[in-house]
Amino acid sequence: SQQGEEDPQALSIQEGENATMNCSYKTSINNLQWYRQNSGRGLVHLILIRSNEREKHSGRLRVTLDTSKKSSSLLITASRAADTASYFCATDQQGAQKLVFGQGTRLTINP
Amino acid sequence: DTGVSQNPRHKITKRGQNVTFRCDPISEHNRLYWYRQTLGQGPEFLTYFQNEAQLEKSRLLSDRFSAERPKGSFSTLEIQRTEQGDSAMYLCASSPTDYGYTFGSGTRLTVV
**What's B41-110 look like in SS3?**
CCCEEEEEEECCEEEEECCCCCCCEEEECHHHCCEEEEECCCCHHHCEEEEEEEECCCCCCEECCCEEEE
Average pLDDT score over residue span B80-102 = 92
% of chain A residues with pLDDT over 90: 82
pLDDT for residue A4 is more than 70: no
At B2, is the pLDDT very low, low, confident or very high (cuts 50, 70, 90)? low
The two beta strands, A85-93 and A105-110, are antiparallel
pLDDT at A1: 44
Q: What is the mean pLDDT of chain B?
A: 93
| CB atoms inside a 10 Å sphere around CB A52 | 9
Burial of B14 (0-12, 13-18, 19+ CB in 10 A): exposed
**Distance, in angstroms, between A54 CA and closest chain B CA?**
18
Interface of B to A at Cβ within 8 Å reads: 4, 6, 31, 33, 35, 40-45, 48, 50, 55-56, 89, 91, 93, 98-106, 108
One-letter amino acid of B17: Q
Q: Which of B41, B56, B99 sits opposite A97 (nearest CB)?
A: B56
Interface contact A30, partner B, CB < 8 A: yes
Which A-chain residues 50-69 have CB contacts (< 8 A) with chain B? none
A77-108: burial string, b at 16+ Cβ within 10 Å, e else: eebeeebbbbbbbbbbbeebebbbbbbbbbbe
